[in-house]
Chain A
Amino acid sequence: MAPAPFHDDHHARSAWSWLRRRRRRLWPLPLFAGLALLLVWPAAMLAIGVFRTAPPGMPGGWSVEPLLALPGSTKLWSAAAHSVLLALLSTAVAVVAAAGFAFLAQRTDLRLRRLVTPTMVVIYATPSLFHGIGFSLLGNPAIGFANAALRAAFGPEAGLVNVESGPGLLAVIAIRATAFTYLLLAPAFLALDRAHEDASLVSGVGRFGTVLRIDLPLLTPALSGAAILAFVAGLHSFDIPLILGQAAGIEVLSTAIYDRLVHAYPPQYATASALSLLLVLVAAALSLLQARVLGRRSFVTVAGKATRQHRLRLGRWGLAGNAAILAFVLVAVIGPLLSLLLGSVQSVPGVLDSFTLVHYQRVFQRPGMIDAVRTTALLAVGVGALAMTLAVLLAQAGQALPVPARSALRLMTLIPFAMPGIVTALAVMWAYVGVPGLRQIYGTVWMLVLALVVVALPFAMQAAQAASAQIAPELTAAARVSGASAPRALLDVVGRLIAPSFLTGWFLVAIAVAGNLDVPLLLGTPTLGTVASHIYQLQTQGQLGDATALLVTTMAGLFAAGLSGLGALRLLAVKRRRPALGTPRVPRSSTLERQAA
């Protein structure tokens, strides 16, 4: 979509008529320009920042020294090794566990199967800050509730659980990765055509052989795609290594970047940028690979009509399956949740004999706390709406654009997938602090907005794509032939049909924004903080009780918001269903009414 030649001798009138003539083909231009500004510009500035000798916005020269010094740092080598090891192992655990849970939930008649998907959604939606602090309260060697319970049950020498260790860190990251991977794999397991298995069985191959020779090869694209995404997520993990890894002295790449920016003096912007770029390039390469792998998935759906799904009766193995589900729910959800709830009402964490609400009183008297709550709420709602709107536009544009433009769009939206939050924050800093006129937004909430929209975009795009995929293009086409303009049709048909998914996505993004730690840690100021940055500060200051109380209050607030949103959705759904009775299922589009008028 290159702009046509534009000669100087054309005066404004003909330029305008040219624009009008091309309007139909140029509509994606604002979208592309916005994306370039929001995504490409920061990424490019990050790359340039690698060679700058001064911090963003400061006059300075050029140098390749920090980049050349990189390979010589043993500390960085070990951080990189930790990152890769953590990502690899958590991916391996997650893919196996998620495949197991997906099989149990989607293909068997287990009683507890209905528990699996909600559990995974809850874990996926919960900010990792929650898991970091929750598991630290549960499995800390000194004060962890699990250790207290073990000691109470088996004596003071009972096996110590230590979550602040390599394996502990791995376990917590693997739990989150399992949820994430499960949500990617479950549809693939559900889509497995039972007829493919039946055909193998009647050919004379038993159950086990069928799984090995039919099911596994059919699932390979989904499995490998999910594995790549889980690996990238593992490389990107920040909050959990920050909270659990520090005590154990384990540094990963993302925390190393943070360390170079916040704890080094003077801050090593170039080094941090080089590390960031490395992370982004690896993740981008893997994301491209994943797109290729998943792109070939079409070969899975050869079958005509799918046969009825029959669930496998597990019989004796049912007990083991139910136990596995129950154990996962206990360890991954109930354990950290109970630890947080208990921890917030103990005067000293880990001591189970007192009860106090002092943390809840004290934490809200903290200076700047009320402002932080207000900022967080505003960010969650505002960034959620922005990111979801952008994501819906992207999803719709993706369907309407010609192939080369669509590929360009895909490439641009790869950037937020490849950038972890800490890198996004750094990139946004390079991009906007360096520009005269834009410099003023540094230290304001707008800086946070810019970075958080990028951070939230992958969540939002996932929700928007799932929603848009359900809407047949004919529905919009029908609105267009009825006389509605393209934006009108988008609003009347797509807008109304995806309203429920839009609200759900908005909520998920709001949670992710409220729980995000990387961005406020780097772009916040002493007077501009969010709830998440306060929680982290309290935690690092050793005020675990206050941190926990704040975390519990935040989660309760989000939960209440979710519940009321769900109620609103129900109302909306009831309202929409009523006129559908007896009439064809057409959205109540005003198009027809306008036509009649």
Chain B
Amino acid sequence: MSTIRLDGMSKGFGNGRGIERLDITVDDGEFFVLLGPSGCGKTTALRCIAGLEEPDGGRILLGDRVVADAGRGLFVPPDKRDIGMVFQSYALWPHMTVNDNVAYPLRARRVGREAVGRAVVGALDRVGLAGYGERYPAELSGGQQQRVALARALAASPRLILFDEPLSNLDAQLRARLRQDLHLVHRETRHTAVYVTHDQTEALALADRVAIMKEGRIEQIGSPDAVFRAPRTRFVAEFVGYENRLAARVLSVDGDRAAVALPGVSAPLIARRTGPLEGGRTADLLIRASRIGLAAEPAAGRAEGQPGGSSNGLPVRVEDVSFLGDHHQFRLRTADDAILTANIPAERCTPGLLGAVGATLRAILPADDLVALDAAA
């Protein structure tokens, strides 16, 4: 059993930053991602789990074992916690070969010579670096170095592996490849993992569950799907890629649907509610740029940008269009002077749409993709 429990854990740095009473439970074999902007406390939380930082308050349990209890002054140092960790800077020891780097945790656990050799070969094989054992870290590329770091973390088969932004020093292509590899390795070994990142794509691809952190607290916790489809605060919504926000007034609420009024728009819009919302309150309407459709104004028939689009829309003036490869990005201004960004797939962009700079079109905001949040959330 390798569960993790943070029990009201706090850690301050005296500069206002830190963690306040964090409660997290990670199940055995679960891949848990801490997602947040820099300075939100996610790395501090991870280092507390590793034992590289000592919490000021609360408890940490790995399995049934209490490894930190600020109240009792109990603190188990990192070398006694049986964990593996992958660092942002790889942290490969430059004076050791790849073999020695990977063997290090095994030798620390006093594993026999032959078993070390087998485990090293196995771990290098698993990360696709068989035959690289005699090289020095400086002789490897960045991606290879990070694979070695992963092999080192896996080598002693710890039940818990911690990842501190392991992919952030790599270029985009490599990041995608290694992300897939990490996912595969986790499916094979089923270790418990805590993974810290500021990249929402990584969180989506890897997490069984994701916690979004802000200023030392957890904003929202849940499956990636739940967090990405139903953000419950404006911070979470913007962090997971809802680029557009409009201020609106709530007219009525019916189940998870809410009717809202935008200033300067006659017909009410229908939006999806992800948290408590009451009629008469001000709401933030949030939508991803990729979910906005564009149609001729007035909406006489079917929308052009959105097959089967409803008339859930508002008039916008096209200010600019730029080509971004597989889609065009439209900069739109509403009657209320708010700016919307819409990404329309290239194959749906008619010449009429592309030539519409300066013209007024209708932006279609599908009710399912339009999230309404109480403005105070």
Contact = CB atoms under 8 A, between A and B. Distances in A.
A306 B53 CA distance: 17
A299 B85 contact: no
A206 B104 contact: no
A196 B52 CA distance: 12
B79 A196 contact: no
B84 interface: yes
B142 interface: yes
Interface string A193-224: 10110111111111101000010011010000
A316 to B, nearest CB: 15
A207 B78 CA distance: 10
B93 A196 contact: yes
Contact of B156 (A204, A207, A217): A204
A59 interface: no
A403 interface: no
Contacts of B84: 202-203
A305 B50 contact: no
A571 interface: no
Contacts of B81: 202
B277 to A, nearest CB: 41
B51 A218 contact: no
Interface in A166-206: 193, 195-196, 198-206
Contacts of B104: 200, 203, 205
B162 interface: yes
B143 to A, nearest CB: 12
A415 to B, nearest CB: 33
A30 interface: no
Interface residues of A, number: 28
Contacts of A214: 93
Contacts, number: 96
B223 interface: no
Given A203-B104, A304-B89, A304-B169, A218 B52 contact: no
A310 B44 CA distance: 12
A206 B108 CA distance: 9
Contacts of B157: none
A195 B85 CA distance: 11
B301 interface: no
Contacts of A303: 89-92
A307 B38 CA distance: 13
B108 A203 contact: yes
Given A203-B108, A299-B136, A304 B90 contact: yes
A304 B142 contact: yes
B88 A305 contact: yes
Contacts of B92: 199, 302-303
Interface in B134-154: 136-138, 142, 145, 149, 152
A199 B91 contact: yes
Given A198-B78, A202-B162, A218 B95 contact: yes
A304 B88 contact: yes
Most chain B CB within 10 A, of A299, A302, A310, is at A302
30 contacts: A193-B89, A195-B89, A195-B91, A196-B91, A198-B85, A199-B152, A200-B104, A202-B78, A202-B83, A202-B85, A203-B105, A203-B156, A204-B80, A204-B82, A205-B79, A205-B108, A207-B77, A209-B108, A218-B94, A220-B95, A299-B94, A300-B94, A301-B94, A302-B90, A302-B137, A303-B91, A304-B89, A304-B169, A305-B89, A306-B89
Interface of B: 47, 50-53, 77-85, 87-95, 104-105, 108-109, 136-138, 142, 145, 149, 152, 156, 162, 169
Given A198-B47, A203-B105, A205-B104, 4 more contacts: A198-B50, A198-B87, A201-B52, A303-B90
Interface of A: 193, 195-196, 198-207, 209, 214, 217-218, 220, 299-307, 310
